[in-house]
């Protein structure tokens, strides 16, 4: 072989490199999406903690929990439960508020994080329970 003759990569070598890069990319993407899901759950829980504080403040000011909490404008029969600015932040597609149920001096809010699994989050006056599928 003469020194001026350069030998390139074979098709098999190129296919092996492309396959390895594809595997590494798929592992990286899975880790990235898992990270995003965890972040969305964390933000949802933090926002619900703030929502709980505001509902507790409403209960102290009004002698009880809201009975007809409206998620659209954050009111209870016309009374503002949550500051309108904070209400708009809560509704910024961080999570979905599914239901509010007052009962016997407490309440339950069912919501879903906007991750890939739509993780269910149940909040009561005492706790927040995350139900990861």
pLDDT tens, residue by residue, 19-64: 999 999 999 999 999 999 998 888 888 888 888 888 889 889 988 8
CA dist., res. 131 & res. 133, Å (int): 6
Smallest CA-to-CA distance from 48 within 105, 84, 93, 95 is with 95
Would the pLDDT of 89 be above 80?
A: no
pLDDT tens, residue by residue, 94-109: 788 888 888 878 889 8
Pairing of strands 128-131, 120-124: antiparallel
**Number of C-beta neighbours around residue 55 at 10 A:** 22
């Amino acid at each position: 072989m003469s020194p001026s003759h350069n030998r390139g990569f074979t098709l098999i070598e190129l296919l092996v490199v492309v396959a390895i890069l594809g595997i590494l990319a798929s592992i990286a993407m899975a880790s990235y999406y898992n990270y995003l899901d965890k972040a969305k759950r964390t933000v949802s829980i933090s926002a619900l903690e703030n929502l709980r504080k505001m509902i507790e403040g409403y209960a102290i000011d009004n002698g009880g929990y809201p009975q007809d909490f409206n998620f659209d404008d954050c009111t209870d029969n016309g009374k503002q439960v949550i500051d309108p600015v904070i209400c708009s932040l809560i509704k910024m597609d961080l999570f979905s508020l599914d239901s509010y149920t007052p009962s016997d001096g407490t309440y339950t809010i069912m919501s879903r994080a906007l991750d890939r699994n739509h993780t269910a989050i149940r909040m009561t006056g005492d706790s927040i329970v995350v139900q990861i599928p």
